[in-house]
Amino acid sequence: MDKATNKKLFFILLFGLIFSMYQETEAQRTRTKPMPTPAISKTVPSNINFTVSMPKPWTHLLQVEMRVASAQTPAQLELKMPVWTPGSYLIREYARHVQNFSVADAGGNALEWRKINKNTWQIDTKGAKEIVAKYDVYANELTVRTNELNDEHAFFTPAALLMFPKGEISTPSTVKVNPYGNWKVATGLPPVAGQTNTFRAENFDILYDSPFEVSDFKEIRFTAMGKPHRYVVTGEGNYDLELMAKDTEKIIIESSKIFGDLPYNDYLLIVNTRGGGGLEHLNSTALQWNRFGFKPEARYKAFLNLVAHEFFHAWNVKRIRPDVLGPFDYENENYTNLLWVAEGTTSYYEPILLLRAGLITDREFLDSKAALFQQLQDRPGRFETSLEEASFDAWIKYYRQDENAINNQISYYDKGDIVSFMLDVEIRTASDGAKSLDDVMRHLYDEFSKKGRNFTPEDFQKVSELMAGKSLEEFFDKYVRGTEEIDYNSILKGIGLQLLTTRANTNEQPYLGANMTEADGRLTVRSLPAGSPAYESGLNTGDQIVAVDGFRAGQTFLQTYINEKKPGDKVKFSVFRFDQLREMEVTLGGRVSPNYRIAAVENPTDRQKQLYRAFLGNELK
């Protein structure tokens, strides 16, 4: 899914002064899981052809012509725009960008139409065998799940551009693109022989899973596991296409070793060198990466992490599908408790693939995991929301994080990554190295995906238990369905590791517990971890801090000033709240902030050493 952009929000929320204590609360919720309504097929499918044009890129208007021909024309034809696109679990209301809608029969006679809800255009066909609908879509937002047209390129997400006739999700269609000037067209859809820039989709699920990039892009083609792959990159930047192709091939090889094959005929990686993030598709991915973010090495490795993430999705979520995630309901939320597997497990495999490909070391892997543990342990929200709840509520929470997210939410990416790591270690330990999480993924691919079945949360637990050779009921109860503190050390010791929360200084440091943001010379409270001194003293998110003990407040000053105080000292804050000046006193707390590190246990046994080596490819040290 759609990754880095949202992860970034979490990091912003975490950035600030110091973090804190928390108040434990239990949230137990029950719910029913609505299933998407199946599409009703007509007996005779229509013949559907789209033409997408962009004659004036500077207007940001993509022009769509949609021809629907049918031997059995209904009296009223309903054309629908999806409200979301798979992989990004938020209702985005793509219909709001549609304008200049008109419709006629093949002879050019205008037909009457009306909107009957937010995303449906109802047309009186008057028996016409072919109707021609035309509309423009305003495209001026570059993300991996929206559209952008400007004088550099067109990127479009078909679910955000192309309508489907009601009940015809299974009908094939073609898309002809009229590029601007000398631009080229790239998409994962197969071309129609003999027709320029025309592509065919077997059904709307495939159409909506195939983004388009149209520009004067740079490209490199390469072969991996005998199949054609290519990068197309729009925008200047400090990237090295040869190196990207070489390293991506290594990632592809390592992924295919887990699953046994490559599940497509060819694969396209679209890169735009602005912003950040990625979205997985059936045989392609759309990526965004800052144009100067391909160097130095650490930032390039972060890019490869993103590539590995989206690539692993070619199996996990695109083919190994959680219950309701495909075929999709494009008009409503599609609820699942399994996004933590779809996204968290995929995130877990990013560095695993890089490690196996020789692109990072076991130490880099363990350091990244220690940082992730620390991030989770600094979120009071971990006692509020379980992985399953976070998955289910993605539609109303994950993409809409506010200042309280740190206190009532966790990320199903980050905690899902951690719990996947813990599960992998559990399986390796319990099976004495015979099985691992790879076997779980492989089994889901062979026994579910290849047999046309989606998997449920119960299936995932059962397959994990099959590989572990023991019940994992307690593990799933505590860490997947529940909100218990993760007992890292009891799990990690299986492979000879321990989590050390070392303290550079055992003296308590003065602690305020408010995350600040500074912009245009204004210092503002961004979030407050529940239970922190600032939280308990009545500071609010949104308060603008004007002065501290009478001194003008800036981020750096405040940090230095607090650090020079002692726990128990009182500090007077002058703040603007709703344009009114107020004074508040905060009694500073005290805290020892630990530094998380994963290290070898003392005197590891041969078995621990062996399991570590089999897992991370190096000697335990």
d(CA 589, CA 591): 7
Closest alpha carbon to 271 in 310, 218, 234, 237? 234
Question: CB-wise, 7 or 565, nearer to Zn ion?
Answer: 7
Q: Which residues sit at the interface with Zn ion, rule CB under 5 A? A: 1, 343
Minimum CB–partner distance for residue 572 and Zn ion (Å): 46
Question: CB-wise, 111 or 302, nearer to Zn ion?
Answer: 302
Closest alpha carbon to 305 in 359, 351, 365? 351
Question: CB-wise, 198 or 272, nearer to Zn ion?
Answer: 272
Question: CB-wise, 67 or 92, nearer to Zn ion?
Answer: 92
Give the angle 11-15-17 at the CA atoms, nearest 5°: 160
Minimum CB–partner distance for residue 188 and Zn ion (Å): 17
Minimum CB–partner distance for residue 554 and Zn ion (Å): 38
- Residue 619 CB-density burial (10 A; 0-12 exposed, 13-18 middle, 19+ buried): exposed
Minimum CB–partner distance for residue 566 and Zn ion (Å): 45
Nearest residue to Zn ion, by Cβ distance, number only: 1
Question: CB-wise, 1 or 54, nearer to Zn ion?
Answer: 1
Minimum CB–partner distance for residue 315 and Zn ion (Å): 12
Question: CB-wise, 143 or 429, nearer to Zn ion?
Answer: 143
| Residue given tokens 């804190």 in the structure block | 20
Minimum CB–partner distance for residue 343 and Zn ion (Å): 5
Token pair recorded at residue 484: 């218990």
Helix/strand/coil for 400? helix
Those residues with Cβ within 8 angstroms of residue 489's Cβ, 6 or more apart along the chain or in another chain: 498, 499
Strand order in 267-272's β-sheet? 218-224, 227-234, 267-272, 284-288, 277-280
Question: CB-wise, 1 or 144, nearer to Zn ion?
Answer: 1
Closest alpha carbon to 336 in 298, 270, 388? 388
Instruction: Provide DSSP, 101-139.
Output: EEEEETTS-B--EEEEETTEEEEE-TT-SEEEEEEEEE-
Minimum CB–partner distance for residue 105 and Zn ion (Å): 44
Question: CB-wise, 1 or 548, nearer to Zn ion?
Answer: 1
| Residue given tokens 């196996």 in the structure block | 356
d(CA 343, CA 349): 10
The DSSP call for residue 533 is H
Minimum CB–partner distance for residue 1 and Zn ion (Å): 3
